[in-house]
Structure 1
């Protein structure tokens, strides 16, 4: 099997398997600006990767829920390799690169989705699962239910190269039984950073029932046409997606910083700092190497993407004991002490005074947005449970980041929580498997 690789609709290379290696071979005469990946510039010699697909092509392969749906829908087209999976989903991915079977132009024949109807409609788990099955043919990573949908935009189709298609403008994310009202959670978690206006944050809308989040894609232009290349730190590190937690914040920084143009580094590292701090304030344990990414139109304008995928994971009892996804100075803890400040100072070039101001701005923002969360829950009783969990988590997050010496002099959410009549947070679900002990083993004998 050979696949055609296109950049902005122009075929530039072929991807295929040769014995125990995967091979990317650029076509003759391809311009240097039409590189497929920052890690694989245009050259005559083929780019080879042993055993698995090159990390760049694996970064958007579906995982978890979506992968199961695709296997169910397209099983006969899959031969068990990532190459066949990419052949099915690669024509409608994230970023400026598309991958299709040899001789097949990129495009999609999916019916457009009316986003406004989705925002106001039925978003129960069953209905959303049906939407995912309908729009499953899309290259997008992540374990939670989500899909890329062509947006209805009248009857005009937008061109991409020679073929015409309805381009995708949104990523649509739903809830499941273990993460109820995820749209509500992520919308307000993102807002803690977004309302400060200090760095780019994805534009997102929550459905009326709080179950779905519609996120505007930032890799397309105003008409929905693919424009930007996008590469996450996981791929830049050469890691497969399932190893997105098997690295450190320091390594993620080094892998991404190497491609930042001279003269922009300071501002870009400040943006990364805001993203990292936000995760500590709202307790997002799911910030891994795939949630820090670069995007670009050329080598001269590589920057960090707008901040995305910020969720208060600790609000869900099933995930409440999860530590940060990436370690700093070898530690994965929500109480990092001076190690986080040292990282900002020595690695990001952010002075202690500036770090303290950033912390306080985010903590104050969490208090303000926390009050918004409480107010929203007054108007919709179904959100009361997740709202309670979120504001308790943010209160703990701000107190921990500020430190015990500073908490007394600053506003928290204690008074707002009491005024809302919220009870204590739900206890974390206990671990069912102890370290080094499988639950499948026979019980130990009593002595």
Structure 2
């Protein structure tokens, strides 16, 4: 009898065919899991308000099995409609907070700006950025302030940008020349590659005086864009140690109405001439197109994830120290409480208000807000508008035979087109000399 008792172990229970015993074990397991997370939640907020609401996590892995990295911004939007604009998500043992309304964004990026001024550096980012020493990933402090001051006071001031106008003009003209050469044969052009290369040349010329011309332009443009794209993809990848610190080792909605832009403004303002930056203030609809495109398709849909340096209370909820903070700009820009017909492309909405890129109004944050707002907004606005205006005024554009323009997104740290924007340029200016360098 003693031998029989000593051999009556847990494995014996698990092998029993008694359905009642199996049911009791399942119930006991569920109760244990519930108690674990209840105790954990109480421990984290026992000295203050509760944690924000959120979906119920699994043990150890949290909510990771239910998240799709290809549509994370839209998943977060759907979840916050159920749990609220300040929501918690368990990424393994890492607690993340998702901010999805202008009011909550104001709390994090203005009211508690200093507390949330760090960026959450992933393990992969430490390799790509020499330990996170660049301006993007550096923690808020003396080193970051020095880098920020260098950019704002030396590189992107109005006098510096005005002094570099000839560089931007020359590079944009080179792009127009290249497009006209491709137009002779009716060859399609990858617009993303060419605009990227034009901007890359401007930046390198400002810093080192180097540029890329001739036959190298196409091949190098493709290689550089692919390289930068791969780096941004890698930095958006989460390592196991990011989740478990203990294991460290349609055409109607196309974002550009070319006919509208040209018929209303381009020809009236410019006539048969080349575009100059001085023309840009006279093209308010083009500026509205840029703003509306960034509203619907923000470059950083979740911004760069922030991290709080100390435990804080936000909107009555406890946000524990070192939480990963996602600002869901993609969802904020489509909030029906603040935007009329939020999923429709309507540039005219920006003709009726004074919204800009400076992050002062928290319903529109394409470049972020607060201390970590993008330092190069002025340069980005000039470069993009100048390129778009020049390409629209110099050419008509048509899709390659059998293809159509798509605006489907590919999610990542940086939001991209799922399919490259490829189009055939058709010269539209009457003077051929305008297509020469």
Whether these two folds match at TM > 0.5 is: no
Greater fraction helix: 2
- Measured against the shorter chain, the TM-score band is under 0.3
- The TM-score normalised by the length of structure 1 is 0.24
- The TM-score normalised by the length of structure 2 is 0.24
Higher RCO (C-alpha 8 Å, min separation 6): 2
